[in-house]
Amino acid sequence: MNIPYTVTARPDTGLYNAKLGIWLFLASEVMLFGALFSSYILLRVGSQDGYWPHGWLNIPVGTVNTLVLITSSITTVMAWASCKMSQFGRFKFFHACTLLLALTFVCIKSYEYHDKFTHFEITLKDGTWADGHFVENHLTKANNAYTGYAILKGHIVQDRKELFDVREHPAAHKEIRIEGAQIQSMERYGPWHHTYLAIYFTLTGLHALHVIGGAIVIGFLWGPGSRLWKTDPERFTNRIEISGLFWHFVDLVWIFLFPVLYLL
Amino acid sequence: MQSDAQTLPYPHAHEARHEEAGFWSTYVFSTDHKIIGIQYGFTALCFLLFGFFLMLMMRWQIAHPGQPVPVAGPLLASVLGDVAAKGTISPDLYNSFGAMHGTIMVFMAIVPLAFGAFGNYLVPLQIGAPDMAFPRVNMASYQFYFIGGMIMFVSFFIPGGAAQAGWTSYPPLAEAIPTNGQTFWLIGMIFLITSSLLGAVNFIATVIQLRAPGMTWMRLPFFVWAQFVTAFLLLLAFPPLEAAGVMQLMDKVAHTSFFLPTGLAVGGKLAQVSGGGSPLLWQHLFWFLAHPEVYVLILPAMGIVAEIIANNTRKPLWGYKSLVYSALTIGFLSFIVWAHHMYLTGMGTKIATFFQTTTMIISIPSVIILTCMFISLWGGSIRFNTPMLFVMAFLPMFGIGGLTGLPLGFSYSDIHLHDTYYVIAHFHYIVAPGTIFAMFAGIYYWFPKITGRMMSEFWGRVHFWGSFIFMNLIFQPMFAQGMAGMLRRMADGGANYSQAKAPGLIGGLSPTIMGLHTFILWAGVALAFAQIPFIINLFWSIRHGRPVDSDNPWEATTLEWQTPTPPPHGNFDTPVEVHRGPYEYSVPGHAQDFTPQNTPD
């Protein structure tokens, strides 16, 4: 049994099956991310005045990551074009670049995640808030009370609102000694900390899963999957095209994520 | 219940690639669309029966609150433990059963049956294709469905039991319940959604790419059109629920506050959450899926009904193009009516007005479809076989379901009827004697193609009349109960609001209204007995039914009847070419009263 149009295009639609399939899949992906972006808008519009964060993410790092992904899109196109021109060696080179760039993106993203998970907001008993990263942490918690001390690199604010807009006044980074007895409560900048972080982690986490998934597919086609080149180069080129379309979509999502989460 | 072969472990997956393989690759890890269709159908029918069983337990509890369930009670007590102590149904268990009845019926029974089973088996055959465009994706689609279904099923047996917050899973309630049932529900849903998504991509690609030469768009059987539109609904409406599911999972697992507002109190105490979320956001995302989902439930049924009507009236369908354009219009409009489920949420009257307008507009193409089907009967010399009986019942039953929806679509009359038994009666008329009857009709109609044998006509009729009478006896009284103000989702069936319990209460439920519970219970039990002939007939006929005398026992025109019986892997012996429309019955001047689509001029 042979299914028609697996490799060559059907004349009246101009598409081979998998190409139509991936476009349909991407349409559903648009709806998936579209729902999350809509949720972002609704949560932001519905947030209390002054409590939607600005400047919590590092723009230069985000910019570098944007450039990394855009470059990987270019290498993906070059890899596909190399296949079309029957230059298998060039294909191997360009897709190796794509893989390395994907890995770079994930590493940078992990660094950003790590930064958030080690960032603390500490409510002090005197009605002020300390905010920053620990340099030394000798705190222990028992029965909801803290003992010991910690050195925090960050700042102390009188009004909690000041923690939400750090664009104009970049947080002064002093080393502050905090005694356990001063601490009312303490929370990391994880997804539970604020709705902004919740949608940030959900959106970028889902996007990172797409990056990793795409990288696995590209890695397979670069490694063991590339044996198909010897037996059926046209089919192999199609696979590169399909995975490339997915990769471009993943990049495109990031192009939307970056301004929405970092800049606005 | 899931003791069929599909529960066996997976290490044999690689065998599926060998053509000459044994039982495993032929029936379990098959990439043949027909086998996958049968897998879908069998699993979905099991879930359908299971969902019905949950309902019977609930009907007992509603009619006799707090009394031990006869027959099944000891089983519940031994399997589920404390929540079913002494064979009674506790309110928690009632809530679990209610939530899971809805979830199972919608996502694991009807959709897989209508779309997965019938669509998979018939669409490639009807368009003259050798298989689906992506056979292995098709297999994965079934496997995701099966895993999702198992996760849902297993959740009954975890501590605390299955999800309790209704099939709609509204937060904050869904997140405030301190058991893990909801987490299982969400993970199960993500699998089911992935399954639908893979299926939808596959169906659309198949219909666009694999139509046989000559099979132009306007020569497609209406069933294919219905499945095509359905696939688009699944493709585009499910992802927002997947997003919502991921967010609710984050709320449950990572303690975010997507759907939890600031100042939320649970059990009299301020919840320890960051707040700032929106419960309405969930409802919007949920109904953005779940309203198109309603059309996912009904469109394939309409497709089946159209095929059977044309075949048994021996006439072309009346208004084929109107049917096609109506289906497309429904597909489009179904994306902009979702908030008519939310009139009472306080989202505002302006938004309500918009959605009530679109809701009234979407009833137009639905009425066109029903009208075309009624007119198709006119002047026909109708063959009243079992499939046709079910179809003839579908038409007025769907009519009742549709017309009773209009008062719910208006925001002012919805204020009175919202969340009452009226709503239950309304949508069950569409799904139970509507869609499920069409499914039964489809099973009786295509069974000879699948097995090469006919199902028993006599027992088919017994099944039909039993189902038809008792379905109506179950759902008609609910209209009265709902209009009297009885709310749904009450574990005691509204006993606390009855005149018996609270004499003198204004608007209290009268003894007559309360007494209908007992009536409905026994109608439900009778409906269960009416399914026994069907189950026996289905399995008995596989080996012992009367063999068909040709590949085309119903003398039909569409391509699935022009194959060997049952169709082999790859479907058609010779290349198919299509020369005519799908319903050329009783064409004047032809020797036979049907002209198959692949007959040359």
Rounded to two decimals, the ipTM of the complex is 0.95
Q: Is B585 helix (H, G, I), strand (E, B) or coil?
A: strand
> CA–CA separation, B421 vs A222, rounded Å?
59
Q: Which residue of A has its CA nearest to B207?
A: A17
Beta bridge partners of A152: A134, A176
Interface contact flag, B254 A27, Cβ < 8 Å: no
User: In chain B, where are the structural domains located?
Assistant: 35-260+277-498+513-562
**Which of the pair, B574 or B4, is modelled with greater confidence?**
B574
Provide the pLDDT for residue A21: 97
Interface test with B, best of A13, A16, A31 (most B CBs within 10 A): A31
Interface test with A, best of B31, B204, B274, B335 (most A CBs within 10 A): B274
**Of the options 3.10.350.10, 3.30.420.40, 3.30.160.270, 1.20.120.80, the CATH number for the domain spanning A31-115+193-263:** 1.20.120.80
> CA–CA separation, B118 vs B131, rounded Å?
14
B1: pLDDT strictly greater than 50: no
Phi (first) and psi of residue A134, to 5 degrees? -75, 135
Min Cα–Cα distance to chain B from A163, Å: 15
Q: Is B152 helix (H, G, I), strand (E, B) or coil?
A: helix
Interface contact B413, partner A, CB < 8 A? no
**String of b and e for B422-453 (b: at least 16 CB within 10 Å)?**
bbbbbbbbbbbbbbbbbbbbbbbbbbbbbbbb
Can you spell out the DSSP letters for B38-94?
HHHHHHHHHHHHHHHHHHHHHHHHHHSTTSPPTTTHHHHHHHHGGGGGGG---HHHH
Which of B390, B389, B550 lies closest to B454 in space, CA to CA?
B550
Q: Does domain B35-260+277-498+513-562 have CATH number 1.10.3720.10?
A: no
Mean pLDDT of chain B: 93
Min Cα–Cα distance to chain B from A41, Å: 11
Contact B439, B389 (CB under 8 A): no
Give the model's confidence band at A165: pLDDT under 50 very low, under 70 low, under 90 confident, else very high: confident
Provide the pLDDT for residue B126: 97
- CB contact residues (below 8 A), chain A span 16-75, against chain B: 17-18, 20-21, 24-25, 27-29, 31-36, 39, 42-43, 46-48, 51
Interface contact flag, B236 A28, Cβ < 8 Å: yes
Which of B81, B62, B282 lies closest to B189 in space, CA to CA?
B282
Which tens digits make up the pLDDT trace of A79-100?
999 999 999 999 999 999 999 9
Interface contact A10, partner B, CB < 8 A? yes
> CA–CA separation, B321 vs B302, rounded Å?
15
pLDDT (mean) for B517-545? 97
B2: pLDDT strictly greater than 50: no
Interface contact A202, partner B, CB < 8 A? yes
Q: Is the peptide bond between B135 and the residue preceding it cis, with omega within 30 degrees of 0? A: no
Min Cα–Cα distance to chain A from B575, Å: 12
Place of tokens 């089919």: A235
Residues of B in contact with A25 (CB under 8 A): 197, 201
CA B53 to chain centre: 16
SS3 of chain A: the string is: CCCCCCCCCCCCCCCCHHHHHHHHHHHHHHHHHHHHHHHHHHHHHCCCCCCCCECCCCHHHHHHHHHHHHHHHHHHHHHHHHHHCCCHHHHHHHHHHHHHHHHHHHHHHHHHHHHHHCEEEEEECCCCEEEEEEEEECCEEECCEEECEEEEEEEEECCHHHHCECCCCCCCCEEEEEEHHHEEEEEECCCCCCHHHHHHHHHHHHHHHHHHHHHHHHHHHHCHHHHHHHHCHHHHHHHHHHHHHHHHHHHHHHHHHHHHHHHC
- Residue from the list A2, A5, A206 with its beta carbon closest to the beta carbon of B209: A5
> CA–CA separation, B329 vs B334, rounded Å?
8
Provide the pLDDT for residue B187: 97
Beta strand A174-179 with A149-157 is antiparallel
Which tens digits make up the pLDDT trace of B392-438?
999 999 999 999 999 999 999 999 999 999 999 999 999 999 999 99
User: In chain A, where are the structural domains located?
Assistant: 31-115+193-263, 120-188
Contact B295, B272 (CB under 8 A): no
Provide the pLDDT for residue B507: 83
Q: Residue B48, exposed/middle/buried by CB under 10 A (0-12, 13-18, 19+)? A: buried
pLDDT (mean) for B146-166? 95
Residues of B in contact with A18 (CB under 8 A): 134
Interface contact flag, B240 A31, Cβ < 8 Å: yes
Which tens digits make up the pLDDT trace of B234-256?
999 999 999 999 999 999 999 99
Provide the pLDDT for residue B447: 97
What residues contact residue B15 under an 8 Å CB cut-off, 6+ apart? Answer: B21, B22, B24, B25, B29
Which tens digits make up the pLDDT trace of B197-238?
999 999 999 999 999 999 999 999 999 999 999 999 999 999
Residues of A in contact with B244 (CB under 8 A): 35
Amino acid present at A7: V
B19: pLDDT strictly greater than 80: no
Which of A241, A196, A231 lies closest to A78 in space, CA to CA?
A241
What are B451's two structure tokens? 């097995």
B21: pLDDT strictly greater than 80: no
Q: Is B289 helix (H, G, I), strand (E, B) or coil?
A: helix
Interface contact flag, B239 A35, Cβ < 8 Å: yes
Which tens digits make up the pLDDT trace of B260-312?
999 999 888 988 888 899 999 999 999 999 999 999 999 999 999 999 999 99
Which tens digits make up the pLDDT trace of A196-239?
999 999 999 999 999 999 999 999 999 999 999 999 999 999 99
Long-range contacts of B561-566 (CB under 8 A, 24+ apart): B561/B449, B561/B596, B562/B596, B562/B597, B562/B598, B563/B125, B563/B449, B565/B448, B565/B449, B565/B452, B566/B34, B566/B449, B566/B450, B566/B451, B566/B452
Residues of B in contact with A51 (CB under 8 A): 276
Interface contact B462, partner A, CB < 8 A? no
Place of tokens 């025109």: B557
Q: What is the DSSP letter of B215?
A: -
B594 Ramachandran zone, left/alpha/beta (phi>0; psi -120 to 50): beta
Beta bridge partners of B487: B420
Which tens digits make up the pLDDT trace of B41-74?
999 999 999 999 999 999 999 999 999 999 999 9
Residues of A in contact with B278 (CB under 8 A): 42-43, 46
Residues of B in contact with A24 (CB under 8 A): 200-201, 204-205, 235
- Residue from the list B134, B250, B273 with its beta carbon closest to the beta carbon of A17: B134
Interface contact B278, partner A, CB < 8 A? yes
Amino acid present at A155: H
Q: Which residue of A has its CA nearest to B257?
A: A195
